[in-house]
Structure 1
Amino acid sequence: MMVEKVLSTIKKWDMVHEGDTVIIGVSGGMDSMCLLHIFDQLKDQLGISICVVHVHHGIRADAGEDVTLVEKTCEHLAIPCHVSYFDVKKLAKSYKLSLEEMGRKIRYDVFEQQRLRVKNGKIAIGHHINDQAETVIMHLMRGTGLKGIGGIPPVRDFIIRPFIDCTREEIEHYCHEHQIAYRDDYTNALNVYTRNKIRHTVIPYVEEQFNKNFVQHMVNTAHIARSEDDYIHGIVLEKMEQVITRKDNSYTIDLDAFNALNLVIRRRIIRQVLHQLGSLKNIEYKHIEQILQLAHKEVSKKIQLPKGIVAKKAYSSIIMSVLGENKTKAFEKDVHLNTKTYIEALDSYVEVRLLEAQKDNIPKNLYTKWFDYDKIKYNLKVRNRRQGDAIVIRGIDGQKKLKKYFIDAKIPREERDKIPLLVDGSQIIWIIGHRISEHYKVTASTKKILEVKYYLEEDYQDA
């Protein structure tokens, strides 16, 4: 029975715990409506609360009927429902993304914002076995490594996929058996999208001509790849400490130690450095190979990569950094409590939440900090530097000019505009990734704590 199968998956992957609030992403389609009904049956047994989030993309003329179905179903089941409206076509044009990419980005942003509003939030998505196979095939067609072959993880951070062991046929049978109403999105049948072509053309052809168990074999392959990828990643992080020196936003790779490593590990190290420099977006196999070949080039040879990243051969090392000529323009974004704010200029996010006062376990992470909430007087913003900026630092009588701080910290001039600042009015609270203001630190008299986290955009990416 499907309910028991989903329950088994939830327990196998430790997806939820008693007291959690599960936010279900419900489009109105078959998969998500089925997920909603099954969670409604399991919520008491699991000791959880559930709510629904629906995103209206403003693309299809009949999308309003999806909203009506989701809202009426939630009303009937007495489940809270939150609907958000967006003009995805307009936003996609503005962000220079495809409709698929923009729609996905919006959905996950909305899910995450709702998660921050609830207690112990988890985000449940209706991906199933067939979605997993399609994702693996898509990645293989574009060219990928173990991570891409690993497809969709059952659990990633706060995102859970309780249907990951179920087939589309099982979900369809359950909906018909229990007379669950759902909406058919006609765009799923159009062979203008890559995923739809794989679903309607590639997979049926392979099943008919080569292997009727093709989908399950793809899923098994993904499971093996994820396990092996996790193992190799652990080795890579260990070796990076031995062969790389980081100074500010520049990475120096010791070639003697680096070249002694297996080629698999060397490639992975390069990818990890590129990730830490800002983004893997638009990074291709050829770019990794070009960096590896630098080891055998003459001194001062360099290559230019996407996102302004440059790799340069020194005497016994490769230095990877971001070119100063790709100067970051001035940016400023309002930051609100219990939300995740996207900083487009840096492909990053800032997440803010309020905590009960604690004096222990103050985070030491460079990108997670605590502040005394009651000392904040104005609306919080994240921006880059402005003329006259200063910060309160221990041992300094009054404030230290930000320019002087950057000079003393030996932060290259070309990197200074890229460093985000968390500010309270005109006062710097945190030079993100560096110092925090002495004035806003948590003390014995602190009553409320503001926790702020900073993430790169790809830390939220998922299939």
Structure 2
Amino acid sequence: MLDQFSEHIATNFSYLKDKKLLIAISGGVDSVVLAELLNELEFDISLAHCNFQLRGADANQDEVFVTEMASRIQIPLFTKRFDTKTIAKAEKLSIQLAARELRYNWFKNLLVDNNLDYIVTGHHADDNLETFLINLSRGTGLNGLTGIPEKNGAIVRPLLPFSRNQIEQYARKQNLSWREDASNAETKYLRNKLRHDVIPALKSINPRFLDTFSTTIHHLQDTQQIVAASLENIKLKVVHSDANGILKLDITELKKLAHSKALLYEILKDYNFTAWDDIYNLLEAQAGKFVVSNSHRILKDRDFLIISPILVEPGNEIYTLHSFPSSIQTASFQLKITKSDNFYPVKESHIIFVDADQLKWPITLRKWQHGDYFYPFGMQGKKKLSKFFKDQKYSLFDKENTWVLISDDKIVWVVNSRFDERFKVTDSTKTILKLELI
């Protein structure tokens, strides 16, 4: 296996040769063999071991084993203990997800603090198959069927072509010791159930199942590259982004495509949506219908589907300014008010100039409310904001994110849109204020 591994590294991971590598080591056979192989090939390696304190004495014995191993092969070792259950409860995460986030966040910090280059994990071909089946059982797109990537940012996985059986055979041949996690034998977790019940049945049907699966994964990965390139070309026609990063999908262009549902999935899959049938139905729904994920909303607005992040900023937040120059920082923007020696007409909606003498301090910034009205600059008479929004074809998201600047119960500015005629700069203005949205 050493020769095969060496050839695999030279062909696919040549960039690692002069790098400083951090090996994630649990004490299990895969990470132990990974460390031994890289050490044998004289890579610059360090070890990192997490003790999640979930398995009592067994977890502590794993830590002792890894410490002794690092001492034996004279490799630097980093260890850390986590109160995983407490953290998972506080963050409202599953134990597995909390452990994963704690592990990789710590690894990434180690890279920065110790000037290391890559995190190396012991994921192998059987792990890849298990992940594929988990994604398949839960429902997924093409991305979920392409397996574990060999490289993902600073994380590399050079053991992916090798099976668990190959790794264990190498360990026995080299008289290596390793730790067995007793929880891996339990079938209450989906991964373990697949490992002990489903995959052996598949291998009994086809003894070369793991090899044929690896071939299939490579075909799917190649297909994914073709799809990704095609998707980027389609996005140029369908997807638009405004200055605030809000995405708008052109429904007319979407409907021209033979596989509009597949395209919608590919565009939206990273926004945590799960109610896909509801999303597909938005194409034919009335304006105003929307679907919510835990981080975003997608709204049907006339000829577009609009994707917007869900802001955590309270809708009743009010900010107060007592004088100028000053600024307000909300969760999504900054408003600056400064004195200006010059006045010039601006076309940008994020900058206005007003007559300072028309303001009564303090002035406030708040979300718009039903019943609000103002005197739009350049127009005759007053207009309710609700009517202004309708005329300007504001979407539901636009309305929800509209702020107004208030002086003496009068709207000075519908922020980032139109200011009030009563506060405009005139020939008699003595002090000019510049209001700028950043």
TM exceeds 0.5?
yes
Contact 1:406 1:416 in 2 (8 A): no
Give deviations 1:394-416, integer Å, cap 9, x for gaps.
x989xxxxxxx995499968669
* Matching of residue 226 in structure 1 with residue 221 in structure 2: yes
Partner residue in 2 for 1:105: 101
Q: Could you say what secondary structure the match of 1:258 adopts?
A: helix
Match of 1:296 among 246, 269, 284: 284
| Letter of the 1:212 counterpart | P
Q: Look up the equivalent residue of 2:47 and give its one-letter code.
A: V
Please give the alpha-carbon distance, in whole angstroms, between the structure 2 residues aligned to 1:211 and 1:392.
72
> How far apart, in 2, do the equivalents of 1:396 and 1:235 lie?
50
- The match for 2:164 is 168
Contact 1:136 1:222 in 2 (8 A): no
| 1:70 aligns to 2:66 (yes or no) | yes
Q: Does 1:235 align with 2:230?
A: yes
Give me the whole-angstrom Cα distance separating, in 2, the residues matched to 1:35 and 1:392. Answer: 59
Please tell me whether Structure 1 or Structure 2 has the larger radius of gyration of its CA atoms: 2
User: Quick one: higher RCO (CA 8 Å, sep 6+), 1 or 2?
Assistant: 1
How many pairs does the alignment contain? 339
- 1:201 CA drift (Å): 0.6
In structure 1, what is the equivalent of residue 26 of structure 2?
27
User: Partner letter of residue 282 of structure 2?
Assistant: L
Task: Please report how far the alpha carbon of residue 131 of structure 1 lies from its aligned counterpart in structure 2 after TM superposition.
Answer: 0.8
Change (3 A) 1:293 1:408: farther
Runs of 4+ with >4 A deviation? 386-393, 405-417
2:309 pairs with one of 312, 322, 326 = 322
Q: What is the rounded CA distance, in whole Å, between the counterparts of 1:136 and 1:251 in structure 2? A: 31
Counterpart-to-counterpart distance in 2, 1:233 and 1:50: 35
Instruction: State the match for 1:139 in structure 2.
Output: 135
Deviation by residue 1:8-64 (Cα, 9 ceiling, x = unmatched): 222332363342111100001111111111110112xxxx41101100101011211
Map residues 16-415 of structure 1 onto 2, 5 A cutoff. Answer: 16-43=15-42, 48-61=43-56, 62-119=58-115, 121-208=117-204, 210-247=205-242, 248-263=244-259, 267-273=262-268, 275=270, 279-280=271-272, 283-284=273-274, 287-298=275-286, 300-307=287-294, 309-323=296-310, 327=313, 385=330, 408=351
Preserved CA contact (<8 Å) 1:251 1:273: no
TM-score by length of 2: 0.70
Checking the alignment, whether the CA contact within 8 Å between 1:15 and 1:160 is kept in structure 2 is no
AA aligned to 1:152 is: I
Q: AA paired with 1:296? A: E
Aligned-pair Cα RMSD in Å: 3.2
Structure 1: how far apart are the matches of 2:337 and 2:163?
58
Which residue identity does 1:230 align to in structure 2? Q
Shift of 1:120: 5.5
* Separation of aligned partners in 2, 1:388 and 1:206: 55
Contact persistence 1:15–1:155 (CA under 8 A):
no
Q: 1:123–1:159: 8 Å Cα contact kept in structure 2?
A: yes
Structure 1 position 319, deviation (Å) = 2.0
Report the AA paired with residue 267 of structure 1: A
Q: Percent identity?
A: 24
Cα 1:10–1:243, aligned 2, differ >3 Å: closer, same or farther?
A: same
- The answer for unaligned runs of 5 or more in structure 1 is 330-383, 398-404, 418-463
Whole-Å separation in 2 of the counterparts to 1:254 and 1:185: 52
Corresponding letter in the other structure for 1:34: V
Change over 3 Å in CA distance of 1:30–1:328 after alignment to 2: farther
State the TM-score, normalized to the length of structure 1. Answer: 0.66
Aligned mates of 1:203, 1:274 — CA distance in 2:
28
Counterpart of 2:44 in structure 1: which amino acid?
A: S
